[in-house]
Structure 1
């Protein structure tokens, strides 16, 4: 079979199964089955063999541990401490609570590495509070959902761990490269919140005193040390990303059970169960997506795509735009982790062919897929936020599109100015980043 025929079978079957509402993890595995039966050189047992090989990875142990650390931090009640710090920092701006929503998501992203944990933890506190203070529910839901995407952009990021492990890219370099895009996304969102607040007359908090700011900072300083420990440890060579995830779990346990005493021994089993459940879903997706990606590589589909795009004569910028578009579209329909395994491995040779830096390519992919968390029909963060706000997902779409427009401008900046994205990793890790 030609690469085109195999691609048609794989993606065609996968598309039909998704339309039939088969869960993505199962759809990816089932889409591989026809190819195994049709090809004389392959057997169905290879599906399980490739799944097992994908699980036999030390770096992927970081995924369940980072998820557990995020859930422990949520259970420890650190979200309210971050909200207090954000309120004394930006609450005096027009639409104060909207700005607080963005800033607290940015701070929480540096702790959790998970957008869904961000949307659920922060949304459950701030959406009811915003509604109570007179904010439009659709706007509150849109701001909460869109700000949660920073959870997988600002380090430590679970998506970056998966990306680095699969494509042998420096995870420390990815973490450092995610700092500027995360800050730019936060700034773009705060600009939109400011415009909404001025037009709609949203309330403003009194400016905090220096003493109030100091008290809020003191209350949040221990949780805020988490990203410094994780990223500093990885970049400094003290531990691997997997070891860093274990350190994050131990640090979260100490904060929750010893220092704050908000996590009781009776509550711990529920946190462990929820973390294991979410980790199992993510890891099963990795297994079936890896088998899907192996078939793509076996039939040289990525190389066929490289040859096709080479005939177009596309340069670095044009290729960056096409890669972003592909990830944006893919992210609308499936979870980011299988999208990385399937689309990332297919497009990686294309990026290499035009001389795109592996970290630049990764940041384009991660940011594009992050936006898929708030775009239907997948839009899991928008779904969570809408459920908390008590509205339909479609009701918040107008405000989401406005905020997303500003965020897409940040994605364009990432594509057009790779040196700006690579500046921090090149400065701090010059030996590992070319």
Structure 2
């Protein structure tokens, strides 16, 4: 908006005359108007699409399980709506600045350097969408001759979502330049991006035969450099994949688009926006608060009691929201004020919050587990079954640290809840407590799919919140729908771009080389697990779980399988390791998210988080060495 443009950063700095300043402000107003238009033409349809998905899927579930007459066209329509929801959500996330990205390095730059980095980032986004628009349009037009089996609609109806969203992203990137960037920075950024493009074009003959050097240049140097500039991770994956294919291979760029669509459109992934919506509704309708109050009434009077409540509450709600930030935001306000009254250091509070979030990464219905099932073919029910015990090991490790640190806690004035108070809190929380267990049991026992269970969970939460807790503010509904669509789009487009990047890596022969290298590692299966754990700790610190899994899961899971390692055991190792990396400073994005939720300076918490992370590292070693922790419940079944 206009208020975001500082006089020293706008075009007026480069032009100077009053007449030119007037022209500049007019340009800024044009950019602001365009952004406002994009806001309404994306947010409202995305919110309506999310509601339509819930209604459609709930109707289909009712017809299938109650009337025993499923809608033949239901899944097909849900798939069409889903790709539009994903792409519009991605545009919303870009406008709101909610795409996954690494901002640590940009935040440490001077204001002038940061302004140039933002301008350069916008040019890179423009490059990505410009590379995407033409092949996406051609691919969508080619899909016209193919019709859907049930509705008899041309595939272009769903395929058009990608070029439409790409066009909106292009306009949005241009508006950001109009609103925020100086003419000098625009010229420098254009020259830099154009220079790189020309250099790649001139070097294409030399790069083509150099497979290893090309892979390092595009997928190591290129991706890491772009990510460190604070550009959304999905753009880094996408633009480097386009650049690699255009420079080194003769493959048509439409392959990137079709692979993106294939990676994003799986109906398994429809559980992603539904679980995100479910988690937001649980917090807004009071279900999460009811859980916390019951747990606090049980053990809140003991030394370290509220810390144990934090660990237990995170175990209960984890994964349902689809966002660790949402999980932490739901728990911190209900616990931190009372913990501070008892003398807890705010750095310790952040350390406990971030480490408990890391501990709970394997707890179903974790979106990372759903993603693993989608990209590797591993049973989601088996992953959900195996996810409970690794988190228990992590929770026990954290509880040991809490016990040690809270031995001297002063409990003066803290009263133990009476049996009547505990019983009342239990009755109030019972509808909320039942939901996580019902969701997980239904998927694990194979009663319903993750998508169906998420749909039922949304309906159940709305009924419980409106009829029992009666605290929902209807003015929050639209923001919840938009936020859910935005987060869903940010996650799903990363999956699409990472799928395209993974295809390029596979075609280059990298997969075969990686398999040979990993299988030759010393120590056999145990050595492979150890290397994988360390690798995913590093990957988790700057890529987050879903991008890392989509990119490396299809490459590494077959290797693990060939070495006799259970898919579920391997999944638990890599997911727990990624959680540890995600919340480990100085790179872990989750750690800084915990600091933001708690409104605490990261430097205050950084020196206090290491005992908790050390405990989780011990838990990871146990998970690696003892396969039963991951597969014991599977064997019992």
Question: What is the alpha-carbon distance in structure 1 between the residues aligned to residue 494 and residue 413 of structure 2?
Answer: 44
Aligned to 2:540: 331
* Cα offsets for 1:211-252 (capped at 9, x unmatched): 332222212111121122222222333211111121121112
Residue of structure 2 in register with 1:432 after alignment = none
Equivalence map 1:282-293=2 (5 Å): 282-293=491-502
Give the gaps of 5 or more residues in structure 1: 429-434
Residue in structure 1 matched with residue 212 of structure 2 by the alignment: 4
Measure how far apart 1:209 and its partner are.
3.5
Superposition map of 1:219-230 within 5 A:
219-230=428-439
Q: Say what the alpha-carbon RMSD is for the aligned residues.
A: 2.0
Distance 1:381 1:136 in 2: 20
Shift, 1:292, TM fit: 1.0
The count of corresponding residues between Structure 1 and Structure 2 is: 428
Q: What is the DSSP-based 3-state SS (H/G/I as helix, E as strand, rest coil) of the residue aligned with 2:475?
A: coil
Residue 18, structure 1, aligned to residue 227, structure 2: yes
CA distance in 1, matches of 2:353, 2:244: 42
> Residues 100 and 18 of structure 1: is their aligned pair in 2 closer, same or farther, counting only changes over 3 Å?
same
Matches within 5 A, 1:10-409: 10-109=219-318, 111-112=320-321, 114-199=323-408, 201=410, 205-409=414-618
Separation in 1, partners of 2:295, 2:412:
16
Range that drifts further, 373-382 or 174-183: 373-382
8 A contact 1:95–1:204 mirrored in 2: no
Distance 1:110 1:51, change over 3 A: closer
- For the pair 1:425 / 2:620, whether they are aligned, the reply is no
Task: Go from structure 1 to structure 2 and tell me whether the alpha carbon gap of 1:148 and 1:271 turns closer, same or farther (over 3 Å shift).
Answer: same
Question: Residue 381 of structure 1: CA displacement?
Answer: 3.2
Question: What's the TM-score once normalised by structure 2's chain length?
Answer: 0.64
Q: Hey, what's the Cα distance between the residues in 1 that align with 2:495 and 2:455?
A: 21
Question: 1:200: Cα distance to partner?
Answer: 5.7
For structure 2, list consecutive stretches of 5 or more residues without a partner in the other structure: 1-208
Q: Residue by residue, what CA displacement relative to the aligned partner does 1:118-147 show, whole Å, maximum 9, x if unpaired?
A: 111112332333223321110011111211
Offset, 1:5: 3.3
> Structure 1: which 4+ aligned runs deviate by more than 6 Å?
none
Q: Which has the larger radius of gyration?
A: 2
Whether the 8 Å contact between 1:115 and 1:150 is mirrored in structure 2 is no
Q: Could you report, residue by residue, the CA deviation over 1:234-276 in whole angstroms, capped at 9, with x for unpaired residues?
A: 2333211111121121112112223222224333112111111
Note closer, same or farther for the CA distance 1:86–1:377 as it changes in structure 2 (3 Å cut). same
Question: What does the per-residue CA deviation read over 1:11-44, in whole Å, with 9 as the maximum and x for residues that have no partner?
Answer: 2210111222212111111121221112333133
Give the Cα–Cα distance (whole angstroms) in 1 for the partners of residues 321 and 485 of structure 2: 16
Query: Higher relative CO (CA 8 A, sep ≥ 6), structure 1 or 2?
Result: 1
Task: Decide whether aligned partners of structure 1 residues 110 and 346 sit closer, same or farther in structure 2, where only a CA change above 3 A counts.
Answer: closer
Moved more, 339-348 or 322-331: 339-348
- Shift of the alpha carbon at 1:309? 2.7
Which shows bigger deviation, 298-307 or 360-369? 298-307
- 58-67 or 299-308, which deviates more: 299-308
